[in-house]
Structure 1
Amino acid sequence: MSFSGKYQLESQEGFVEFMKAVGLPDDLIEKGKDIKSVSEIEQKGDQFKVTVTTGPKVLTNTFTIGQEAEIENLAGEKIKTVVTKDGNKLKVVLNRVTSITELVDGNTLVDTLTLGDIVFKRVSKRVP
């Protein structure tokens, strides 16, 4: 199953607690909590380009499965890491945050970010 497509955020849990834990300022947390971000994924074999647009902020990361890449996290830090793929799940560790992106079915993308015991879960649906 290909990850390629555009996905719009439908629901999220744990946003405020997670963003505070990663050090985002309160004003940005307040602005961002109600924005329906859009994720666009382009997959060509093991090569990925992921663009997440949240209001005026656009975050783009490119990587190849199993190879070291520089990934920008939510706080704007660039971290060298390796993205792995297990079936329909992409996993990456950025400092203390573990991120798992799962393509549940052809139309639902679930992102789970974990920092210690704080979990931030986002559910996005494919859009045309």
Structure 2
Amino acid sequence: MSFTGTFKEVSQENSEAFMRAFGTPEEHIKIAKDLKSITEIEENGDHFKMTITTGTHVSVVSFTVGQECEIDSITGEKFKGVIKREGNKLIGNMKGIESVTELVDANTIVNTSTLGGIKFKKTSKRV
């Protein structure tokens, strides 16, 4: 299955606790908790480009599986990490956060981010 496509967030679990653990300011949490993101993914072999739009904030992540890349955090901070692929999962460990993006079926992506035992789960459907 290919990750390529546009996906709209349909649900999220534990976002506020996760954002607090990450150090997101309360004013950002109040705004972000009710926003639904749109994720556009382009997959070309081992190269990916993800454009994530949440409200007015747009984050673009380009990476090649297994090579170091730069990631924008939810607070706008930039940090480096490596993303690997295991089947239908993209797995990254960056700044203490483990992120797993799984293509669970042809139309559903589930992203689970874990920080210090706090899990944030976001489910998105292909549009």
Q: What is the TM-score of this pair, normalised by structure 2?
A: 0.97
CA RMSD of aligned residues (A): 0.7
Is the Cα contact below 8 Å between 2:82 and 2:94 reproduced in 1? no
Is the Cα contact below 8 Å between 2:71 and 2:81 reproduced in 1? yes
By how many angstroms is 1:94 displaced?
A: 1.2
Give, as a single letter, the amino acid of the residue that structure 1 aligns with 2:121: K
Aligned-pair identity in percent equals: 51
Provide the residue aligned with 2:111 in structure 1: 111
Is the Cα contact below 8 Å between 1:41 and 1:51 reproduced in 2? yes
Provide the residue aligned with 1:46 in structure 2: 46
Structure 1 alignment gaps of length 5 or more: none
Provide the residue aligned with 1:75 in structure 2: 75
* CA distance, structure 2, for counterparts of residue 70 and residue 56 of structure 1: 21
Q: What is the TM-score of this pair, normalised by structure 1?
A: 0.96
Provide the residue aligned with 2:92 in structure 1: 92
Post-superposition CA distance 1:79-115 (Å, at most 9, x none): 2211100000000111111100000000000000000
The DSSP-based 3-state class of the residue aligned with 2:113 is strand
Is the Cα contact below 8 Å between 1:73 and 1:94 reproduced in 2? no
